[in-house]
Amino acid sequence: KAGVTQTPRYLIKTRGQQVTLSCSPISGHRSVSWYQQTPGQGLQFLFEYFSETQRNKGNFPGRFSGRQFSNSRSEMNVSTLELGDSALYLCASSPDSLSSYNEQFFGPGTRLTVL
């Protein structure tokens, strides 16, 4: 089975621009979560999507948004980029189960640098 893939792997943008990151989950996985990873803050949960619906949301401003398509692929968008948005953005997928937790499978991440 192919793993979680994220594109692009590296991205350089300037302040004020917007960016879209893409994530393809493992085949059959219906839940996709997004995280921001920075050295000082560790992993911060952005949001989780399941069946094209946002299920959970972290404490990020409205500039951060996402969506999920019918094939479970997900995109994350950040508008009006700020220097502080420079981070590794990780996507994770899981087969959804609410009765017991299934592990999340992570992609390699997209390294975003904002200049």
Partner 1 sequence: GNSVTQMEGPVTLSEEAFLTINCTYTATGYPSLFWYVQYPGEGLQLLLKATKADDKGSNKGFEATYRKETTSFHLEKGSVQVSDSAVYFCALITFAGNNRKLIWGLGTSLAVNP
Contact positions vs partner 1 (CB under 8 A): 4, 33, 41-43, 45, 55-56, 90, 92, 98, 100-101, 103-109
Helix (H, G, I), strand (E, B) or coil at 71: coil
**Side-chain-facing half-sphere of 91: CA atoms under 13 Å:** 34
- Closer residue to partner 1, CB minimum distance, 4 or 87: 4
Angle among Cα 90, 75, 86 to the nearest 5 degrees reads 45
Rounded to a whole number of angstroms, the minimum distance from the CB of residue 98 to partner 1 is: 6
Rounded Cα distance, 50 and 89, in Å: 19
Q: CB 52 → partner 1: shortest distance, Å? A: 16
CB of 108 to partner 1, least distance (A): 5
